[in-house]
Amino acid sequence: MKKILFINGPNLNLLGEREKGIYGSSTLEDINMLVCREAEKLDILVEFMQSNHEGDIIDKIHEARGRYHAIVINPGAFTHYSIAIRDAIKAVELPVIEVHLSNIYAREEFRSKSVIAPVCIGQISGFGVDSYVLALYAAAGL
Ligand code: DQA
């Protein structure tokens, strides 16, 4: 059975309360439940982690080697500057899909640069909670 790890970075634990106009009113728990329901239909096993700490995210990416078939990651603000997360993704040689709730290209200039995207299979940005479901389907099709 295919296993996919969903990683959420800093401040995403505050979804549902945080900048609702941009990120919507769903909590991270709501999103994870939605993904779980879709994953059942696809016969895929999904696991979730969220951390506000770069090192924890890097450790989790390392641990994913041999345990998961793919990773879906919303690196939050780390998207824009974490060379360490980028290097971890490159190092583990697992297929990784980058997701964002908001369209990072339609916001502040500094958000339009992802240092993570070049080491990912692809990026899904701007579809709110559906970004995660689309990423699941993309990972299922790999
Ligand atoms: C985000 C976009 C990032 O720029 C921001 O720092 C986030 C959330 C998104 O899902 O739209 O924390 O990754």
pLDDT digit string, tens, across residues 109-124:
999 999 999 999 999 9
Q: Number of structural domains, the chain?
A: 1
CATH of the domain at 64: 3.40.50.9100
- H or E stretch including 87? helix 83-92
The C-alpha atoms of residue 77 and residue 72 are separated, in whole angstroms, by 16
What is the CA 88 to chain-centroid distance, rounded?
Answer: 14
Instruction: Tell me which of 18, 51, 104 to substitute to probe ligand 1's pocket, judged by most ligand atoms within 8 Å of the beta carbon.
Output: 104
Rounded to an integer, the average pLDDT of 38-57 is 98
Rounded to an integer, the average pLDDT of 117-142 is 98
23 labelled catalytic: yes
Rounded to an integer, the average pLDDT of 98-103 is 98
For the CA atoms of 5, 135, 131, 78, the dihedral, rounded to the nearest 10 degrees, stands at 50
Tens-place pLDDT, residues 6-42: 999 999 999 999 899 999 999 999 999 999 999 999 9
Share of the chain above pLDDT 70, in %: 100
Average pLDDT over all residues of the chain: 97
What is the pLDDT, as a whole number, of residue 137? Answer: 98
The C-alpha atoms of residue 115 and residue 3 are separated, in whole angstroms, by 25
Rounded to an integer, the average pLDDT of 81-100 is 98
Cβ–ligand 1 contact at 31 (below 6 Å): no
Domain that holds residue 79: 3-140
- Please check whether residue 60 is in contact with residue 51, taking contact to mean a CB–CB distance below 8 angstroms: yes
Count of positions (residues) in the chain: 142
What is the CA 109 to chain-centroid distance, rounded?
Answer: 21
100 labelled catalytic: yes
